[in-house]
Chains A and B, each alone.
Chain A
Amino acid sequence: EAQVTQNPRYLITVTGKKLTVTCSQNMNHEYMSWYRQDPGLGLRQIYYSMNVEVTDKGDVPEGYKVSRKEKRNFPLILESPSPNQTSLYFCASSSSVEGSGANVLTFGAGSRLTVL
């Protein structure tokens, strides 16, 4: 089954304790992206990747890191989490044509993160 898999689905952590949210897709998609969803703010893009070793900042990249060493994986790293990073996180992937906004995203089920 074609899918985007995120782990963990739920996590409660404390301020400053490094964590990684993994994302893996089995569709051979070039494009991958991370979003965070907050009430009243909708989805905001954190980082995206056009292909292996190609990543770029989205709208809200502060406090996050990503890497794309393999095509299928795109982990989101919080080096020193803070309470304002408490949110619902979504990973998504697409086989969009480069340079095109015709981007039909397939989303993971989401990871709910709470930072105390």
Chain B
Amino acid sequence: AQSVTQPDIHITVSEGASLELRCNYSYGATPYLFWYVQSPGQGLQLLLKYFSGDTLVQGIKGFEAEFKRSQSSFNLRKPSVHWSDAAEYFCAVGARGGSEKLVFGKGTKLTVNP
């Protein structure tokens, strides 16, 4: 079964600074990978996904993520953070050829200082 680790529970950055949120997965083959964002009081919204092909994927709101097979990682990045990016971010993994189930990490809460 697949699993996901988000090592950072809480990250604080200043507005305008760059951001990297870490995600490591465990799965025997190349998985499907996702990043979702949850703004306060809201449901989860898909930021980006990796299914195959180019390992650098672009998402909404200026986010990107890079799939690194050798490191079993799918880190989320943004070059310049805006105050509106303050939210909780979840990495998720799906199994190829398996069930439709997505396994989510425990989330990273992002605080943005002015």
Q: Is the CB of B51 within 8 A of A102?
A: yes
Which of A40, A50, A90, A103 is the one whose CB lies under 8 Å from B44? A90
Q: Which of A64-116 contact B (CB under 8 A)?
A: 90, 92, 94, 96, 98-105, 107-110
Min Cβ gap A66→B in Å is 15
A58 to B96, CA, bound (A): 18
Give the contact-size bracket for chain A. Answer: 20 to 34
Does residue B46 face the partner (Cβ distance < 8 Å to A)? Answer: yes
Q: Are A43 and B104 in contact (CB under 8 A)?
A: yes
Cα A108 to Cα B38 in complex, Å, equals: 11
Summed over the interface, the residue pairs from A and B with CB atoms below 8 Å come to a total of 75
Alpha-carbon gap, A101 to B111, bound state (A): 31
Query: Considering the chains assembled together, what is the distance between the CA atoms of A73 and B51 in angstroms?
Result: 29
Known: A42-B106, A48-B100. Is A101-B43 also a contact (CB below 8 A)? no
Interface residues of A (CB under 8 A from B): 4, 31, 33, 35, 40-45, 48, 50, 58, 90, 92, 94, 96, 98-105, 107-110
